[in-house]
Chains A and B, each alone.
Chain A
């Protein structure tokens, strides 16, 4: 489930508000126009699809793998484990990991083995 929006990393672009298919986030204050960070308003609606993380340009979100329970993990713990932005890097959506966009090796797994 979505656990946290890092207040230090978030620039208030509010892309997560738009892209979350379950409408979990809610803008605050002036929203995007004023660079105000959104809040997690409907946490239990989160379907743990990780797509908000994939689309966050600032690596400011963390989705815990637990689909049913809130873990309460802290920003410090996520940062210490190097987990901010880890999904975005894996799919090649960061500048430094572009080669991962075409790294899909499924064709090897489908071959007879």
Chain B
């Protein structure tokens, strides 16, 4: 099917042609909260998921703790302060306050909807975590009850924009039913998650940065993409990248010798160092046996690989690896311009891991509790914001006659390239080439100017090829777009990492090992053919603290 970027959209080109007020891309936590908020507010709402709303994404497969803090001023202050230094003093106290409030309300809704929160020995309900399959099955049910139309197995390929540049819908594939879909919408929410580069981190292979690419093609920019090198511990043979229980692990070499300093928290880089030359083994032998049952009940899926491989992880050593979780457990993503979770492009909103989590995490991993709270909160606000935007547009047409819509997509969609070479690109080859730049610990975990510059040279050449490329066949267009999205994401990551000549949060520069107080700012990054980075001021601190060299050293050690 011809797909000329900039070409008008014709109804006949799609096999499913719908119009709506709000279109949500992605059906994980952020997308489902957005859908419920938009539909409950009276907006006609469609949710399109690449896979299946209810199983797609990092949360459904794994489960998560929640940044759920009682509205007690002292507890709230402690919750905010606990990550201030780790995050490199980049978080925003105003955002933290409203996310804590919103998350408290959302978790209360989950309880009202029947989520089976456990009770402690005193009979008190405990709301600090959710099991992934249970949580997302419930969210799917609530999305349907809200009257939202769910399109499962309908990956979006590109956004639609109107003559003013405002986002006005999307085009995608019906990968099980066949053919394409077109949804004309007055507002679009990007809730497609982060990018983990097909590393097989648990539940993360759906997360290839598709929404980041689509949004950038429409003109959106990103922030915090240097905070994108999250690696999680997993059994070397397996996919289960859940790290909470590794706080009870000891780490050893093949001969059984303890690895000094190796730990899940505060010593993961030591593990990465050793893994570059030899295997690392773990055993959860620091957990007292009376805790074993609770650990199993807390994380049933953590134990699946061990039970099935015939390993007792409490008493037997097993080899571990570090799988890249990229921006999923990092904090970078689309830049939000206001509290409605609008992006820089009119009509386009972002939520969850697709949006930068710097406002509540700064530069330190948002994995688990914070990302879950962020998804609930920004999902809700983005849904409301999109519904309000749609209402403000009112009866203005959705592209039928008065509003001409154009396709915004480029790389991998160029049947008739404009300035491109028009050759096919192989998704597998491109994906492996990108992975070769972002997986290695000595390139991404331990960053240097030399390493980043070398990678960027190769990645930029790959982009020059991909930008004008067409897919090898209609069957591979999704894989090609995923590869292009990972490539674009890698370039934003490394261009930002090169610009931040210090170590802050999870961003670790071997050649700039200290935190530089002069670089307490945020990095905006954007662009496709030319990637550009600029700085903007960090939020004003609520509680000014003295940041001297000694503190900088302590933060890095953390």
- Interface positions of A (Cβ within 8 A of B): 17-23, 45, 47-51, 54-55, 64-69, 81, 83, 86-87, 90-91, 93, 100-110, 113
Contacts and interface: CB of A to CB of B under 8 A. Distances in A.
Contact of B60 (A51, A87, A106): A51
Contacts of A105: 118, 293-295, 297-298
B116 interface: yes
A11 B363 CA distance: 49
B308 A21 contact: no
A15 to B, nearest CB: 10
B176 A107 contact: no
The CB with the most chain B CB atoms within 10 A, among A21, A51, A93, A100, is that of A21
B298 A48 contact: no
Interface in B204-244: 204-206, 235, 237-240, 244
B456 to A, nearest CB: 29
Contact of B131 (A48, A68, A81, A91): A91
A47 B240 CA distance: 10
Given A21-B56, A47-B202, A104-B118, 17 more contacts: A18-B153, A22-B51, A23-B175, A47-B61, A47-B200, A47-B203, A49-B55, A65-B239, A67-B200, A67-B239, A87-B304, A93-B133, A101-B131, A104-B297, A109-B244, A109-B294, A109-B298
Contacts of A19: 52, 54-55
A47 B204 contact: yes
B237 A68 contact: yes
Nearest to B200: A67
Given A102-B117, A105-B298, A108-B294, A51 B128 contact: no
Closest 10 CB pairs of A and B: A21-B51, A65-B305, A90-B300, A106-B129, A48-B239, A49-B61, A102-B116, A105-B294, A47-B205, A107-B126
Contacts of A47: 61, 200, 202-206, 239
Contacts of A87: 300-301, 304
Contact of B120 (A18, A55, A103, A107): A107
Interface string B53-72: 01111001100010000000
B200 A23 contact: no
Interface of B: 50-52, 54-57, 60-61, 65, 116-120, 126, 128-131, 133-134, 152-153, 175-176, 200, 202-206, 235, 237-240, 244-245, 291, 293-301, 303-309
Contact of A21 (B131, B206, B295): B206
The secondary-structure label for the interface of chain A is loop
B237 A67 contact: yes
A67 B200 CA distance: 7
B431 to A, nearest CB: 12
B107 to A, nearest CB: 13
Contacts of A67: 200, 237-239
A22 B56 CA distance: 8
Contact of A86 (B120, B129, B307): B307
B231 to A, nearest CB: 15
Contacts of B206: 21-22, 47
A38 B313 CA distance: 35
15 contacts: A20-B51, A20-B55, A51-B55, A51-B203, A55-B55, A68-B237, A81-B308, A83-B307, A87-B300, A90-B303, A106-B128, A106-B244, A107-B128, A107-B129, A109-B244
A109 to B, nearest CB: 5
A63 to B, nearest CB: 8
Contacts of B237: 65-69
Contacts of B300: 87, 90-91, 100
A86 B296 CA distance: 13
A69 B238 CA distance: 10
Given A21-B51, A86-B307, A110 B65 contact: yes
Contacts of B295: 105, 109
A48 to B, nearest CB: 4
B304 A65 contact: yes
A88 B153 CA distance: 24
A109 B235 CA distance: 21
Contact of A110 (B128, B134, B303): B128
Nearest to B306: A65
A64 B152 CA distance: 26
A86 B305 CA distance: 12
A55 B132 CA distance: 13
B200 A91 contact: no
A73 to B, nearest CB: 9
Contacts of B298: 104-106, 108-109
Nearest to B323: A67
A97 to B, nearest CB: 11
B325 to A, nearest CB: 13
B321 to A, nearest CB: 10
A90 B299 CA distance: 9
A91 B61 CA distance: 12
The CB with the most chain A CB atoms within 10 A, among B55, B296, B301, is that of B55
B189 to A, nearest CB: 19
A41 B298 CA distance: 33
B54 A49 contact: no
Given A47-B204, A68-B200, A107-B118, A23 B153 contact: yes
A104 B129 contact: yes
Contacts of B239: 47-49, 65, 67
A50 to B, nearest CB: 6
Contacts of B204: 47
Contacts of A93: 133
B200 A21 contact: no
A83 B308 contact: yes
B486 to A, nearest CB: 15
Contacts of A108: 120, 291, 294, 298
B313 to A, nearest CB: 12
